[in-house]
Amino acid sequence: MKLYSTRGQSPVVELGEAVLRGLPPDNGLYMPEYIPTLDVSFFEDLPGMSLPDIGYSVCKALFQDYIPDVELRRIINAAINFPAPVVKLSEDTYVLELFHGPSLAFKDFGARFMAQLMGYFNRHEDEKLVILVATSGDTGGAVASGFVGVDGIEVCILYPSGKVSPLQEKQLTTHGKNITAIEVKGTFDDCQDLVKKAFLDPNLTNVLRLSSANSINIARLIPQSFYYFDAFRQLESREGDVWFSVPSGNFGNLTAGLFAKKMGLDITGFIAATNVNDVVPRYLDQGIYEPRPSIRTISNAMDVGNPSNFRRLEDLFCSTWNNFRDNMIGFSFSDSETKHKLSEVNNRYGYLLDPHGAVGMLAWDQFRQTDLGKNTTGVVLETAHPAKFKDDVESIIGEDITLPKSLMDIKDKEKVAYLMPPDYDSFSRYLLDRYN
Ligand SMILES: *Cc1c(COP(=O)(O)O)cnc(C)c1O
């Protein structure tokens, strides 16, 4: 599988290099040179396939025998070891639950698959690969649990002290083994600056093999295409066209859906659902892409003012506004609308959404009132478990909610983190002491 950079100034590389590098040297984003259409026989077999079976078939077609079958099976079985069930809310409305992984959010799919692929591509190296990650909360947990126990890889996670939720902190700091947490007495931006400096510092890069587990790594997008096929398979009835409503921030999830469509899945279109950070819905409306500083909302994993995957979308659509509009429609919503929808769905269906899923549901409900939306079937992606946002969700519905078992267990584990000022010398010394 060959990949090129969206900027076109870097050489085409094989999958292994793209995954281990993360970003091409020209600072573009890697894109598959060729996205195959899957065989008719795949779609005939789809109703009886499991999620790992689907993943295997998709990767086999995409990777073109770049990874031997036995290894590919092992990678997929290790990464995709939890389900993505579809729940029917009404005749035309389904929810695709993507929160059954260890960190209770869809990012587990990408993080676990990337961890397995990196471990595989790194297998012949004598020296450890050290992965540096700055997190504002969510990504770090998925990355930590994805990489724990992967041979030959060390992960160092930086998070801002006091600025992640207590449960998120436990998800970062209780794994031990090859996962190290650094609690930075500063902001998320401080964490990110430390990581950026480390990658540019020859004193480190000459002696350590550094890499990132960035959200723009192509290995995170690929497994996110699997569950679109799996969702389709689970739909009971299919009234007219099928639209997926995708709560979006950096637009990785939606880009992965477009990959599935390109591979032949009969998705009519995507509803880009955002909170007030609405640069993409605005672009779809007006044809002007204007990044802006992000605004804080209750669906905070989507507080993104300049979505990193926009360049991938432009690449897929040849930067042509009409191509965008043929595949996507966008809506944005305020926090008060989000709270209202969360509570309404809970009352009407007894189904508890999280704030991100509620934005997806709002967008689907708005879409079905348009001409295009009449007599269609909608699948709303539920990107996180409501218990991840316990305080907000409880205050919206006025009831206590119970934590899933994985969160209960983690509450009692002991936090281990190295407290550090936001100071580059301390950080680089720490890395050299620990990993050199
Ligand atoms: C990351 C995240 C999103 C946004 O996904 P993108 O792929 O960045 O668009 C939505 N919901 C939750 C819960 C997330 O963690």
Write out pLDDT tens, residues 258-306.
999 999 999 999 999 999 999 999 999 999 999 999 899 999 999 999 9
Q: Dump the DSSP string for 329-395.
A: EEEE--HHHHHHHHHHHHHHHS----HHHHHHHHHHHHHTTSSTTTT-EEEEEE-B-GGGGHHHHHH
Question: Residue 421's pLDDT band (boundaries 50, 70, 90)?
Answer: very high
Tokens 């996507």 belong to residue:
328
140 within 8 A of 157, measured Cβ to Cβ: yes
Closest atom of ligand 1 to CA, residue 248: 9
Predicted local confidence at residue 27, as pLDDT: 87
Residue of 383, 388, 392 to mutate, ligand 1, most atoms within 8 A of C-beta: 383
Judge whether 153 lies within some domain.
Answer: no
Q: What is the pLDDT of residue 131?
A: 95
Q: Which of 287, 234, 229, 239 is nearest to 262 (CA)?
A: 229
Residues 12-23 pLDDT 10s: 999 999 999 888
Q: In the chain, pLDDT over 90 holds for what percent of residues?
A: 87
Atom index in ligand 1 nearest the CA of residue 253 equals 7
Are the beta carbons of 143 and 386 closer than 8 angstroms? no
Say how many Å lie between the CA of residue 42 and the centre of ligand 1. Answer: 29
**Distance, CA 230 to ligand 1 centroid (Å)?**
19
Residue 404, domain member (yes or no): no
For ligand 1, atom 11, name the residue with the nearest CA: 383
In a domain, 123, yes or no: no
Q: Give the model's confidence band at 407: pLDDT under 50 very low, under 70 low, under 90 confident, else very high.
A: confident
Q: What is the DSSP letter of 123?
A: T
pLDDT band at 406 (very low <50, low <70, confident <90, very high): confident
Over residues 196-233, the pLDDT tens digits come to 899 889 999 999 999 988 778 999 999 999 999 999 99
Q: Which residues are catalytic?
A: 107
182 lies in some domain: no
Q: What is the pLDDT of residues 152-185, one digit of tens each?
A: 999 999 999 998 888 889 999 999 999 999 999 9
Sheet holding 153-160, edge to edge: 209-212, 129-134, 153-160, 179-184, 418-420
pLDDT mean over 332-358: 98
CA–CA gap between residue 212 and residue 199 (Å, rounded): 9
- For residue 316, give the nearest of 373, 268, 260 by alpha carbon: 260
Number of domains in the chain: 1
| Mutation pick for ligand 1 pocket among 218, 246, 253 (CB with most ligand atoms within 8 Å) | 253
pLDDT for the residue numbered 182: 97
**What pLDDT score was predicted for residue 180?**
97
Q: What residue owns the CA closest to ligand 1's atom 8?
A: 250
C-alpha closest to that of 76 among 100, 51, 43, 96: 51
Give the orientation angle of helix 218-234 with respect to helix 107-121, to 10 degrees: 130
Please give the number of the atom of ligand 1 that sits closest to the Cα of 250.
8
Contacts of 178 (CB under 8 A, 6+ apart): 147, 148, 149, 150, 153, 154, 155
Distance 251 CA to ligand 1 centre (A): 8
Residue nearest to atom 7 of ligand 1 (CA): 252
Q: Is the dihedral of CA 134, 143, 18, 9 positive or negative?
A: negative
pLDDT band at 79 (very low <50, low <70, confident <90, very high): very high
pTM of the model: 0.94
Rounded to 5°, angle at Cα 257 from 38 and 86: 95
**For residue 273, what are the domain limits?**
84-103+220-397
Cα distance between residue 128 and residue 124, in whole Å: 10
Residue 436: inside a domain: no
Cα–ligand 1 centroid distance for 249 (angstroms): 6
Q: What is the CATH number of the domain that holds 304?
A: 3.40.50.1100
Residues within a 6 A CB radius of ligand 1 = 105, 107, 138, 247-253, 301-302, 356, 383-384
Question: Residue 137: pLDDT above 80?
Answer: no
pLDDT at 392: 95
To 10 degrees, the CA torsion angle through 403, 104, 137, 77? Answer: 140
More confident residue, 323 or 408: 323
Strand partners, 133: 157
- E strand or H helix at 240: none
Q: Residue 241: is it exposed, middle or buried by C-beta count within 10 angstroms (0-12/13-18/19+)? A: middle
| 70 is a domain residue | no
Position in ligand 1 atom list of the atom nearest CA 249: 9
Across the chain, mean pLDDT equals 95
- Cα 56 to middle of ligand 1, angstroms: 24
Instruction: Give pLDDT, residue 280.
Output: 98
Q: How many whole angstroms from 436 Cα to the centroid of ligand 1?
A: 35
Q: Which tokens go with 115?
A: 């961890």
**C-alpha span between 150 and 171 (Å, rounded):** 17
Which residue among 250, 278, 312 has the greatest number of ligand 1 atoms within 8 angstroms of its CB, and so is best to mutate? 250
Nearest-CA residue for ligand 1 atom 15 is: 301
User: Is 359 inside a domain boundary?
Assistant: yes
- Evaluate if residue 86 carries a pLDDT over 80: yes
Residue 413 lies in a domain: no
Q: Which of 99, 106, 171, 216 has most ligand 1 atoms within 8 Å of CB, for mutation?
A: 106
Q: Say if CB 20 and CB 211 are below 8 A apart.
A: yes
